[in-house]
């Protein structure tokens, strides 16, 4: 088995994984330094770090770390009842001490951009300088044919793509289609399917968002959860060119990704519909 080849293949398919490697060993035990196991985001594991209780525990730990997308180093005592400072004791009888390194391998996040116009292209140019996996969806063949830089290009209907159930909770979604009608249909379909993205942003003017919210409340009720919805989209940094808008949106995504506070979001400038994201 070429585990490094598998890692490369999974990365190309946007499959997040945790690579677990034995980096140190003292005393007896089934673990060999350099042994590697990968645990995928669907729970499947490939390879081995020695078997038994340590491998069972490593699989559980890797699945936990995949949720936070963080790497981690931990030391284990392979002898039940034996205590060692800053180490985890496992129910084994070998008596050795082993250190495993858990390395997250995968995208910082998965982003879906509905609409491949000037702003969509500018967004990809910015986002692909970072570790994001980006899919662009557009119904217009001529747009898809000349689009560059995205990991996946989908020439499909906007709403039809959502029906494929590719988008998961905690993904990032940007809606910048060529028409208000398409924008509304995309967002309403996401709400209808009860998808909870980490971020859902719609490119629009203050007047447009007021009209959209009125329609949405009529359809879903005023208790609809819009806490993840950012519209008008982006941080309030100024600038109206596609490139400047792309930086504003990318900055907002980064602030949310790193849970940073204190930034002024464009959705906070609304008059009369402010704090819609707090309605639940």
In degrees, to the nearest 5, what angle opens at C-alpha 152 toward C-alphas 146 and 157? 75
214 forms bridges with which residues in the sheet? none
Pairing of β 229-230 and β 199-202: parallel
Q: What is the C-alpha to C-alpha distance for residues 191 and 204, in angstroms, rounded to an integer?
A: 18
C-alpha closest to that of 190 among 218, 156, 159: 159
Mean pLDDT of the chain: 91
pLDDT tens column, 195-216: 999 999 999 888 888 888 989 9
Domain locations in the chain as residue ranges: 3-105, 109-278
- Listed in order, strand segments (DSSP E) in the chain are 17-26, 36-40, 45-47, 72-77, 88-89, 97-105, 109-114, 132-138, 152-155, 172-175, 199-202, 229-230
Q: Indicate the fold that domain 109-278 takes in CATH.
A: Rossmann fold (3.40.50)
Is a pLDDT exceeding 70 seen at residue 279? Answer: no
Q: Which residue has the tokens 């490369």?
A: 8
Decide if pLDDT at 156 tops 60: yes
Give the per-residue pLDDT at 274. 60
What is the model's pLDDT at position 271? 61
Q: How far apart are CA 175 and CA 27, in angstroms?
A: 57
How big is the chain by its Cα radius of gyration, in Å?
Answer: 23
More confident residue, 79 or 257: 257
Instruction: Please tell me the pTM assigned to this model.
Output: 0.84
Average pLDDT over residues 129-140: 95
Q: What is the pLDDT of residues 107-118, one digit of tens each?
A: 989 999 999 999
Annotate 117-129 with DSSP letters as a single string. SHHHHHHHHHHTT
Q: Which two tokens stand for residue 3?
A: 């585990």
pLDDT value, residue 95: 78
């Amino acid at each position: 088995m070429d585990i490094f080849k598998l890692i490369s293949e999974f990365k190309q398919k946007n499959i997040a994984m945790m690579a677990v490697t034995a980096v140190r060993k003292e005393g007896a035990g089934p673990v060999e330094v350099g042994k590697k196991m990968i645990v995928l985001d669907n729970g499947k594991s490939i390879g081995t770090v020695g078997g038994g209780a340590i491998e069972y525990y490593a699989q559980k730990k890797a699945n936990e770390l995949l949720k936070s997308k963080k790497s981690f180093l931990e030391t284990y005592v392979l002898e039940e009842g034996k205590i060692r400072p800053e180490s985890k004791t496992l129910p084994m009888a070998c008596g050795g001490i082993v250190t495993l390194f858990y390395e997250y391998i995968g995208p910082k996040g998965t982003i879906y951009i509905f609409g491949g116009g000037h702003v969509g292209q500018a967004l990809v140019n910015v986002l692909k300088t970072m570790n994001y996996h980006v899919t662009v969806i557009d119904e217009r063949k001529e747009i898809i044919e000349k689009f560059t830089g995205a990991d996946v290009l989908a020439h499909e209907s906007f709403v039809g793509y959502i029906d494929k159930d590719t988008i998961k909770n905690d993904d990032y979604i940007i809606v910048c289609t060529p028409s208000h009608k398409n924008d509304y249909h995309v967002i309403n379909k996401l709400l209808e399917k009860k998808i909870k993205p980490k971020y859902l942003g719609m490119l629009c003017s203050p007047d447009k968002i007021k009209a959209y919210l009125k329609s949405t409340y009529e359809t879903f009720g005023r208790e609809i959860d819009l806490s993840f919805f950012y519209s008008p989209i982006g941080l309030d940094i100024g600038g109206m060119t596609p490139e400047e808008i792309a930086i504003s949106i990318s900055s907002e995504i980064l602030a949310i990704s790193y849970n940073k506070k204190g930034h002024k979001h464009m959705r906070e400038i609304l008059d009369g519909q402010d704090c819609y994201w707090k309605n639940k």
